[in-house]
Structure 1
Amino acid sequence: MFNWEGVSEFVAVAEAESFTKASQRLGISTAQVSRQISALETRLASKLFHRTTRKVSVTEVGRVYYQHCRQVLDGLEEAERAITNLQTTPRGLLKITAPVTYGEKTIAPLINDFASLYPELEVKLNLSNQKLDLVDEGYDLAIRLGHLEDSSMMAKKLSSRTQYVCASPNYLATYGLPHSLSELDQHNCLIGTMDYWRFQESGKTRNVRVKGSLSCNSGHALVDAAIKGIGIVQLPDYYVLPFIESGELTPLLEQNRQPEEGIWALYPQNRHLSPKVRMLLDFLSEGLK
């Protein structure tokens, strides 16, 4: 017979990274949480946490144990909700990651709306442009933009985006318009995180290497540089459309614009998809229409 003692306490500490916060979440004393964790470590003959005066973090063994325990607890949670008809009231922890700019502008407001509907939820939203390990770091959901490379994840398309190449009227008056992809080599291209731009040519995707006097990992900084006439930029619609509409930027090479790219929600293939995650997926999909 499986011994459940200490499992809930372990998961709470792993997610809160604090014995005190875990005790508050569980409604028991910090001392009781500590006793249960110590007893669990003794039973497993393994150290589950690194403890310092400032921080509590899971060990490598603890991460493996957490992944299995989280799936089991999610399964028990859904079973209980099925019996008590609580599927309409999401609760518990939701851990999400999204790219910084798109996350700040679009995803975070929607998640805030979702959280306001369900006050029993605890949301952890990490805005990062790094490709985090969803399984290892315990994420329920990740928002990804454009071409997907990781086939080990399940993906749901939420919306789409369009990449625009554009420049200011002042830049174009000085240096002229590029009429073909080969002419980009004659222009100052403002470079983001990659030194190539993606286009459509003869029905196929073509990557074109670009170079210029400015490179930056901030889309807002690149837009500002383009508006000020420093060069040509390629960025998604949510960066440049307001400035195209105001006339501060002019779209270029429209004949080679790539088809719309997907905006995706990713989640681990082997992870049990809880009702709260399914409801968030539906909420995001509806909000991004």
Structure 2
Amino acid sequence: MSLLEGITEFVTVAETSSFTTAGKRLSISTAQVSRQINQLEARLKTKLFYRTTRKVSMTEEGGIFYQHCRQILNNLEDAERAISNRQETPQGLIRMTAPVAYGEQFVMPIVLDYMKVHPQVEVICDLTNQIVDLVHGGYDLAIRLGHLPDSSMMARQLSTRTQYVCASPGYIAIARFGVPHTLSELGQHNCLVGNTPYWRFMENNRHRLVKVSGNLQCISGYSLTQAAKQGMGVIQLPGYYVDYAVNSGALAVLLEQYSEPEEGIWALYPHNRQLSPKIRMLVDLLAEKLP
């Protein structure tokens, strides 16, 4: 029996917490996945997973084994990349992740265009607002917004964004306290928020967070923009959501003197992996096309 037999199935189950999902990802039956895991556990003489009808989770021994196996598969993928770097035609699997709303509206349309031009490329894209571990998750590429924490990842800036505070002329006309001129006046207004009630500003050359509140919270920038255009309140969103409405007069920019400097939109990838043609060309296209 090969030492690598069952390793791919084990890692995939560990990362998906599901025998069924692992089978679909590997294009094999659930029964075959289960058989490989059972044989692996028998060979190791230890239990790797706790199994119930609703949940699959790793044992302590399974977690230790997973860390080593994930590194083995990463090394094998590096070996494949070393070969694929010699090829000019993008081909093979790209595992990537991006924020949900930004990924849906901006990243995925570019990815789909890329796949039409390069039909030998397969993409698994995880749209999530969680910060995932690229190495342990086996990702080739992540799209991140805003300020990057220090990490071992390599980063390439694809574009920039600026946050704007906006409201419709209709809202301003009926607002009890009129146009806000200072950050403290935001507390008097109905602020429509996304995934955080804190808005970011620059005051006296220092970054400042201001807690705001209102009667609508939604992680969709598009929906918040529509609500603001309908006069429901004040929003803070990146320019790619509000530029058209501002240019058309549907929204007015407020508190512009407190705006933070532009922040980056980034492509991240593990620094121990050279960018293969399929990744490099996708990143180049994103840098060209992202607003």
Fold shared per TM-score above 0.5? yes
Match of 2:81 in 1: 78
Match of 1:135 in 2: 135
Once the two structures are superposed, the pairs formed by residues 134-173 of structure 1 within 5 Å of their partners are: 134-173=134-173
Where does structure 1 lack aligned partners over 5 or more consecutive residues? none
Match of 2:273 in 1: 272
- What letter matches 2:5 in structure 1? G
- What letter matches 2:223 in structure 1? A
Q: Is the alpha carbon distance of 1:194 and 1:36 closer, same or farther for their aligned partners in structure 2, counting shifts above 3 Å?
A: closer
Where does structure 2 lack aligned partners over 5 or more consecutive residues? none
- What letter matches 2:140 in structure 1? D
User: Could you tell me how far apart the structure 1 residues matched to 2:214 and 2:31 are?
Assistant: 60
Match of 1:67 in 2: 70
- What letter matches 1:251 in structure 2? V
1:22 correspondence with 2:26? yes
String of CA shifts for 1:134-183, please: whole Å, max 9, x gaps. 23322222111112235343322111111110101111112221122232
User: Could you tell me how far apart the structure 2 residues matched to 1:23 and 1:222 are?
Assistant: 40
User: Could you tell me how far apart the structure 2 residues matched to 1:56 and 1:277 are?
Assistant: 32
User: Could you tell me how far apart the structure 2 residues matched to 1:279 and 1:12 are?
Assistant: 28
**Greater shift after overlay, 12-21 or 180-189?**
12-21
Q: Is the alpha carbon distance of 1:53 and 1:77 closer, same or farther for their aligned partners in structure 2, counting shifts above 3 Å?
A: farther
User: Could you tell me how far apart the structure 1 residues matched to 2:105 and 2:226 are?
Assistant: 17
CA contact (8 A) 1:193 1:217 kept: yes
User: Could you tell me how far apart the structure 2 residues matched to 1:220 and 1:124 are?
Assistant: 25
> SS at 1:224's partner residue?
helix
User: Could you tell me how far apart the structure 1 residues matched to 2:170 and 2:210 are?
Assistant: 24
The sequence identity of aligned pairs, in percent, is: 51
- What letter matches 1:118 in structure 2? H
> SS at 2:134's partner residue?
coil
1:192 correspondence with 2:199? no
- What letter matches 1:161 in structure 2? R
Once the two structures are superposed, the pairs formed by residues 1-289 of structure 1 within 5 Å of their partners are: 5-6=4-5, 10=9, 17-19=21-23, 22=26, 43-45=43-45, 60-61=63-64, 63-81=66-84, 85-86=86-87, 88-175=88-175, 176-269=178-271, 271-275=272-276, 276-288=278-290
Q: Is the alpha carbon distance of 1:21 and 1:288 closer, same or farther for their aligned partners in structure 2, counting shifts above 3 Å?
A: closer
**Greater shift after overlay, 62-71 or 183-192?**
62-71
User: Could you tell me how far apart the structure 2 residues matched to 1:13 and 1:194 are?
Assistant: 33
**Greater shift after overlay, 33-42 or 118-127?**
33-42
User: Could you tell me how far apart the structure 2 residues matched to 1:23 and 1:227 are?
Assistant: 47
Per-residue deviation, 1:72: 1.7
CA contact (8 A) 1:91 1:121 kept: yes
> SS at 2:226's partner residue?
helix
Per-residue deviation, 1:107: 0.4
> SS at 2:114's partner residue?
helix
User: Could you tell me how far apart the structure 1 residues matched to 2:171 and 2:22 are?
Assistant: 54
User: Could you tell me how far apart the structure 1 residues matched to 2:94 and 2:182 are?
Assistant: 47
**Greater shift after overlay, 145-154 or 184-193?**
145-154
**Greater shift after overlay, 9-18 or 205-214?**
9-18
CA contact (8 A) 1:156 1:266 kept: yes
Q: How many residues align?
A: 279
String of CA shifts for 1:44-101, please: whole Å, max 9, x gaps. 555667789999998535632442122221222133335xx31x22322211111111
- What letter matches 1:284 in structure 2? L
- What letter matches 1:196 in structure 2? Y
Q: Is the alpha carbon distance of 1:54 and 1:117 closer, same or farther for their aligned partners in structure 2, counting shifts above 3 Å?
A: farther
User: Could you tell me how far apart the structure 1 residues matched to 2:57 and 2:284 are?
Assistant: 32
CA contact (8 A) 2:78 2:273 kept: yes
